[in-house]
Amino acid sequence: GQLEGTSLPLFFGWFLLSPAKEKICCTSMDFLKTLDTLEAFKKHLNDFTQGADKEVDLEQYFKSKGPLHCTTKFCNYGKEDGAKEYAQNPLLLWPADAEKEVEGASSLPLGSRAHVTLGCAEGVEPVQTGLDLLEILAVQQGGQKGELVEEMELGSLSYYGEGRWLLSLREPIRTPACFSSVYG
Ligand code: 2AM
């Protein structure tokens, strides 16, 4: 019935708490600032601005929406497959099917899609970042290492083609978080 449908949230996830939350925003802005100056990055810029040949200011290009979080299960108020099962099973953190949406990623361990969306270009839905992550993991699983482009203070920056960049952090960034759900 309708009531049953609306009792499930838009999504469940971990919500990052202060002050780590602010620190992560600053770190990502600093990263974009540095990225903006790298010749190797500029060389491939067209791969993800899809030919728009105007200057791109990365700090403006990516817009963040809402609180920083790591989605564990997107339920879409119960319309998404497995939403009800997820909500009813308190021990299951990562759904079984989140990695299946990208070809070549279905054999990755549960939770491989875990990520915090820091920002998206205009017109790009936040769901895209998880799919991008799975794509890179699938390429890596296929034995491709990517092209190591720059050793940065934060970590190693590699290029996987088609606008896919990966920064592998030297040190993990730890943050306290609160598990909750959003009804939106
Ligand atoms: P995100 O987890 O990659 O940031 C509300 O839209 C939240 O649910 C966003 O955080 C978004 O992406 C995530 N989301 C939206 N649609 C989704 C989908 N089809 N599958 C998984 N997560 C989704």
What pLDDT, in 10s, does the model give residues 16-51?
A: 999 999 999 999 999 999 999 999 999 988 886 766
Ligand 1 atom nearest residue 128's Cα: 3
- pLDDT band, very low/low/confident/very high, at 56 (cuts 50, 70, 90): confident
Q: How many angstroms does the Cα of residue 74 sit away from the middle of ligand 1?
A: 6
pLDDT for the residue numbered 65: 86
**Residue 146: CB within 6 Å of ligand 1?**
no
Candidate of 117, 118, 127, 181 to mutate for ligand 1, largest count of ligand atoms within 8 Å of Cβ: 127
Q: Is the pLDDT of residue 4 over 60?
A: no
Percent helix, strand, coil in the chain (nearest 5)?
30, 20, 50
The identity of residue 45, as a single letter, is: L
pLDDT in tens, 63-79: 998 899 999 999 999 99
DSSP letter assigned to residue 76: G
ipTM: 0.98
Burial group, residue 37, by CB count within 10 angstroms (0-12, 13-18, 19+): exposed
Distance 13 CA to ligand 1 centre (A): 10
Q: CB of 28 within 8 A of CB of 119?
A: yes
3-state secondary structure of 39: helix
Catalytic residues: 69, 115
Asked if residue 117 has its Cβ within 6 Å of ligand 1, the reply is yes
Q: Which has the higher per-residue pLDDT, 145 or 2? A: 145
Residue 137 pLDDT > 70, yes or no? yes
Contacts (Cβ under 8 Å, ≥6 apart) of 144: 160
Nearest atom of ligand 1 to the alpha carbon of 182:
5
